[in-house]
Amino acid sequence: MIIKVFILILLMMPIVLVGSSILHILFKKNGQIVVHTKENELKFVSVLVPAFNEESNIANKINNLLSLDYPKNKLEIIIGSDGSTDNTVAICQRFASKFDNVIFLEEKRGGKADIINKLVTKAKGEYVLITDADTLIMNKDALKIAQSLNKDFVSAKLSYPKNSYWSLDYAIRSFESKFNRLLTSNGAFMFLKKEFFEPLPKYIIADDLFIPLTVLIKKGKTVLCDQIYCSTEDESLTFPKYFNKRVRVIRGGLQTSFLLFGKLLINNFLSTIFLLSHKILRWFFLLLLFLNIFIFFGLKYFLLSLLFIFLLLIFKKTRYFLIDMIIPFFLIIDIAKLKKRDYTGWDTERH
């Protein structure tokens, strides 16, 4: 029996490796041809920064946004504090008093989704850029590039350390972008036409999945731009913190996928196929695989498979790839709790 389990694992490895290699080779770059819009034709852009206890990041964030190459009379930066209890408010007020196009909005604690909704309501721009306070935009002309693509939603790449998981995931996103059907984004760069924004439910966790999916439901075009890069504090996360973040991300992904699946199926069938293959099937695959091992080979080999995964987690090169594969196995049983929990939508509770 142990030979059968070993053979099963060996059979799966070529599929994963070959499939990911093909995607990586074919769709490593989107190949977008960027022709900057003439300055007099550029649209007004509202940059929105939701923040909670970001005293260590917010000054660098605002300075980063102020350094972007974009006409100041067509750019506003609105920072929203979601009940911050540290020096975030004081820092933001100082910038708002110094720069005419920096606006500060102080609100009571309501969660990330709530503060994003309020920021969008306040925005005057035809386009809005929603960007997390703990990230930086690396391209000075990022707003010009995003607007020149003439899409309804544009995402950027994060400068994560190179590993097999992120290489595969960005290859998949590039593939989806070929069809103008990017499913998911990141909190660092969500650039969209304001008319396509759908207010976030207060309980939603994965705003970076909910927003592009609702754009697709409205038949908008969504893409990943491989010429815009952002940096994030995730680059320095320890393994335990990375694990906790991935739990939150995948939990939010399950919640949003089930919430919007029906609407997406009715309004954008091809995007539904992409959602199944990119997200849902990937999350459920290991659960089904493990259950089949238990059914056909018994408890002993089921536990042996878990031990095999555990041993692979010991090695740094395989650890981060596998963590994204095994977390769904532990979260599936928690689906029923998603609507009962009061999530704030923030990665961490900074005090």
Domain ranges of the chain: 33-239
**Average pLDDT, integer, range 288-304:** 67
pLDDT band (50, 70, 90) for residue 99: very high
Nearest of 84, 37, 10, 69 to residue 349 by alpha carbon = 84
pLDDT band (50, 70, 90) for residue 21: very low
Q: Which residue has the higher pLDDT, 318 or 335?
A: 318
User: What are 215-219's contacts with CB under 8 Å, separation 24+?
Assistant: 215/152, 215/153, 216/181, 216/183, 216/264, 216/267, 216/268, 216/271, 217/260, 217/263, 217/264, 217/267, 217/268, 218/152, 218/267, 219/267, 219/268
**What pLDDT score was predicted for residue 247?**
73
* CB of 170 closer than 8 Å to CB of 242: no
pLDDT at 149 over 60: yes
pLDDT at 341 over 80: no
Mean pLDDT of the chain: 81
Q: Which residue has the higher pLDDT, 260 or 302?
A: 260
**What pLDDT score was predicted for residue 255?**
87
CA dist 231 to 201, 236, 318, Å?
28, 11, 23
**What pLDDT score was predicted for residue 253?**
84
**For 13-17, 138-142, 346-350, which range has the lowest pLDDT when averaged over its residues?**
13-17
Residue pLDDT, tens place only, 160-214: 656 556 777 888 899 999 999 999 999 999 999 999 999 999 989 999 999 999 9
**What pLDDT score was predicted for residue 265?**
92
What fold characterizes domain 33-239? Spore Coat Polysaccharide Biosynthesis Protein SpsA; Chain A (3.90.550)
**Average pLDDT, integer, range 27-52:** 78
Residue 104 makes CB contacts below 8 A (sequence gap 6+) with 78, 79, 80, 81, 89, 92, 93, 95, 96
Residue 232, CB half-sphere, CA atoms under 13 Å: how many?
Answer: 18
pLDDT at 31 over 60: no
**What pLDDT score was predicted for residue 317?**
59
CA dist 181 and 184 (Å) reads 9
**What pLDDT score was predicted for residue 278?**
79
pLDDT band (50, 70, 90) for residue 348: very low
**What pLDDT score was predicted for residue 18?**
42
Residue 290 makes CB contacts below 8 A (sequence gap 6+) with 302, 305, 306, 329
Residue pLDDT, tens place only, 225-273: 999 999 986 555 666 676 677 777 778 888 898 899 999 999 999 899 8
CA dist 23 and 248 (Å) reads 27
DSSP-assigned beta bridge partners for residue 230: 137, 158
**What pLDDT score was predicted for residue 81?**
97
**What pLDDT score was predicted for residue 232?**
85
